[in-house]
A and B are shown apart, each in its own frame.
Chain A
């Protein structure tokens, strides 16, 4: 056997020579030579990504585009077909190619081919345009212009299947807003698409996908589709039994869109069960259909406990587990299965138990280190979902090196979406009710969380704080100390004043868990001259968001459960703004519409005026002078039972202490 090195080296240089010779021939004035060269180029690049890139760099796209324009001027059908096909292949599944074709200005020439008298030319043009419209880079089609809508309708009404397919691709690519959906409905596109459901297999598929695009999240379009023709919905249901798996999948997706959009259609148990079984069966398809089926399955189950239960009864966990065990999973399929498992385990404990029973966790742990970012993200989302199980958290199922080490590593993943998903999983796992939080600390998880809480990206800051907050939940003294020293008082106070309200809320919730429990932990908010407490007071005074008020008031309430010094510090914050003309936040909160905020505020007052504490009576006097006692008196019949109960406790305490000062 000869060594491969030497012949291939000379081969690739001869290959390069041949390629540049081909480029010369494409530019030839002899149309016979040009035609053969175009066909040769087309045959080299079809199906071959490497060759597409290679010729792209050689400048083939502008050359072909130029040949197309010339052939158009002279109406040479053969040249038109070959050059359009070559451009279409450059654009097929290859974004750099789409960009090059668009930059070369070929787009309008391709559109012009659609009105050419020769059917083969029309076909070639429509096919290439469809390739372009399958990419996100395609120019957005403006349906709101009248002449554009007319043109689209003319495409959909064409006798040529490729041309109707192009019309559908344009809708799928460019219809995004409700206004666009309405414009399409108004122009009668739904009716046209409904009639295409009876067309050829490719027309059925195109129509199903377009219908889903127009109906998605638009209840008006959904009811128009269903009511316009009695057969419309039943045709889609029939197509879910089609022989072609792709058609079955698209029909399912269309039905899911309709039922997720409108609460009136397809809510019967029969159709729900049917969709679950159909999609589970489609998962077995070895190709793209199988990949996409898992995503459709997720959208069917999303937020719907009844469907998750049906899926559980249909052994969905076992089926997904079987798929996950397969050798050499394609990344897209891998991702889809993990996300489907995540959705399935998002609410029901029965699903999670089955998940643990089958030891799916080990397979998900493997996915955490997959080379493709989307797979890693999906694995994290799945972990987050199963770690909602308090039972398994208590059993310490997640605080194992197999999970924690790769998960912590993902906290500094190059992809932000992986980081965010990993933080989501970490947040749940660190809640851990056993003593195993140390596993997380030992492998450097805390340092990374703190580092991410200072990220420039607000979503990362938010999720990192969420993790820290949960890590702090019921943590022991050493753990709290460790977190606090890593995080430090100054950065905690600046997080409380973060520009993002959601970050502020998490920071306050973190402090709430920090000062929860023993007296010692309350001392943390007094570190460095009490900058944390000051920040809280400032934030409570300025915020208009109830969620922030709630977390902040529970912090104060926890502090107020401490010793006299602690209570006085809270009083100071409460009364700071009473005399400077603005309304004190405590009064604002007591009058809030949010009952949880009212409850949190009353709790603080209760803790401050606990009768056995020495300074209670002087604090009641101060509260009365600030108008707070009289405000509380007006709340004895609060519509919220919880508030009403706490108000009575507070009033009882005021009575015990005595209205002595009056």
Chain B
């Protein structure tokens, strides 16, 4: 009998602990949020930063005219950067390399890894297009010397050349190199390098802010029940789950 009561008491305590979390109602929460002041200019700058970093040049130009927010970079350079990115994404790697070099010859001269990845992408495109002889010649003339300079490049090169050994490349162990995601990976690497060379951060600030919001909510979850934002795209405040 006494054991039964002990169990009951413990259950009650656990329940009490769970409900002892502070509950904040939607009205209270909204009132608190109202007291937080955010400057319009700051928001505009965040938006501009997002447009510029992601390369939405037309939108950025319009936004500049309409909101009067000055971008922290010459908008013309965005067009150039986007042209490079697009060239890689559509497989015109040689064209992309020339464009990067026109933009700033230092980028590829001082970033061996990026240069190697672009050359590797060029090799992948040759293989994709079935230009076997050309691919081999390119691997030997352009890529092999890079492999001699750097052991990890050599390993990547071997993996890429292995594509030639398979009849059905879509089903081989290194097949993912031919995937469109490989192009996107290379493209975003170039994009980041160009941004860095322009003294610009390579990631937009908006996603970091949202990440911080989610982190802060997770922290708060342990202490209180409050109107949470579950869907970032609508930013709807959910009713606190009691």
CB within 8 Å of B: which residues of A? 1-2, 4, 7-8, 11-12, 15, 39, 42-43, 46-50, 85, 88-89, 92-93, 127, 131, 161, 200-202, 243, 287, 328, 330
Other-chain contact of A43, B97, B142, B165 (Cβ < 8 Å): B97
A contact patch SS: helix
Contact-residue bracket for chain B? 20 to 34
Q: Decide: A243 and B201 in contact? CB cutoff 8 A.
A: yes
Q: CA–CA, A92 to B133, complex, Å?
A: 32
Q: Decide: B141 and A85 in contact? CB cutoff 8 A.
A: no
- Count: A-B pairs, CB below 8 Å: 67
Using a CB-CB cutoff of 8 Å, which residues 197-212 of chain B contact chain A?
Answer: 199, 201
Q: Decide: B145 and A50 in contact? CB cutoff 8 A.
A: yes
Other-chain contact of A92, B102, B110, B140, B201 (Cβ < 8 Å): B110
Q: Decide: A46 and B101 in contact? CB cutoff 8 A.
A: yes
B115: Cβ under 8 A from any A Cβ: yes
Given contacts A15-B141, A42-B101, A202-B199, contact A328 B151 (CB under 8 A): yes
Given contacts A47-B115, A127-B105, contact A7 B165 (CB under 8 A): no
Nearest CB of chain A from residue B101's CB, rounded to whole Å? 5
- B residues near A4, Cβ cutoff 8 Å: 136, 140
Given contacts A43-B101, A46-B105, A243-B201, 9 further A-B contacts (CB under 8 A): A2-B136, A8-B136, A8-B140, A11-B137, A12-B141, A46-B97, A46-B101, A88-B105, A161-B199
Q: Decide: B106 and A127 in contact? CB cutoff 8 A.
A: yes
Given contacts A4-B136, A201-B199, contact A328 B152 (CB under 8 A): yes
Q: Decide: A46 and B108 in contact? CB cutoff 8 A.
A: yes
Nearest CB of chain A from residue B135's CB, rounded to whole Å? 10
Other-chain contact of A1, B97, B105, B132 (Cβ < 8 Å): B132
Using a CB-CB cutoff of 8 Å, which residues 85-120 of chain B contact chain A?
Answer: 97-98, 101-102, 104-106, 108-113, 115
- A residues near B108, Cβ cutoff 8 Å: 46-47
- B residues near A202, Cβ cutoff 8 Å: 199
Query: Nearest CB to that of A123 among chain B residues?
Result: B104
Q: CA–CA, A127 to B164, complex, Å?
A: 40
Kindly name the residue among A47, A50, A85, A92 whose own CB sees the greatest number of chain B CB atoms within 10 A: A47
- A residues near B104, Cβ cutoff 8 Å: 127
CB within 8 Å of A: which residues of B? 97-98, 101-102, 104-106, 108-113, 115, 132-133, 136-137, 140-142, 145, 149-152, 164-165, 199, 201
Query: Nearest CB to that of A124 among chain B residues?
Result: B105
Q: Decide: B133 and A85 in contact? CB cutoff 8 A.
A: no
Query: Nearest CB to that of B98 among chain A residues?
Result: A43
Q: Decide: B110 and A7 in contact? CB cutoff 8 A.
A: no
Given contacts A2-B132, A2-B133, A42-B101, contact A47 B109 (CB under 8 A): yes
Q: CA–CA, A180 to B137, complex, Å?
A: 52
Q: A-B pairs with the 10 shortest C-beta distances?
A: A47-B115, A47-B108, A50-B145, A200-B199, A92-B109, A11-B137, A85-B105, A201-B199, A328-B151, A4-B136
- B residues near A201, Cβ cutoff 8 Å: 199
Nearest CB of chain A from residue B179's CB, rounded to whole Å? 22
Q: CA–CA, A2 to B165, complex, Å?
A: 10
- A residues near B152, Cβ cutoff 8 Å: 328
Q: Could you give 26 example pairs across A and B, Cβ below 8 Å?
A: A1-B132, A1-B164, A2-B136, A8-B140, A8-B141, A11-B137, A15-B141, A39-B102, A42-B101, A42-B105, A43-B97, A46-B97, A46-B105, A46-B109, A48-B142, A49-B145, A49-B149, A85-B101, A85-B105, A92-B106, A92-B109, A92-B110, A93-B109, A127-B105, A127-B106, A287-B113
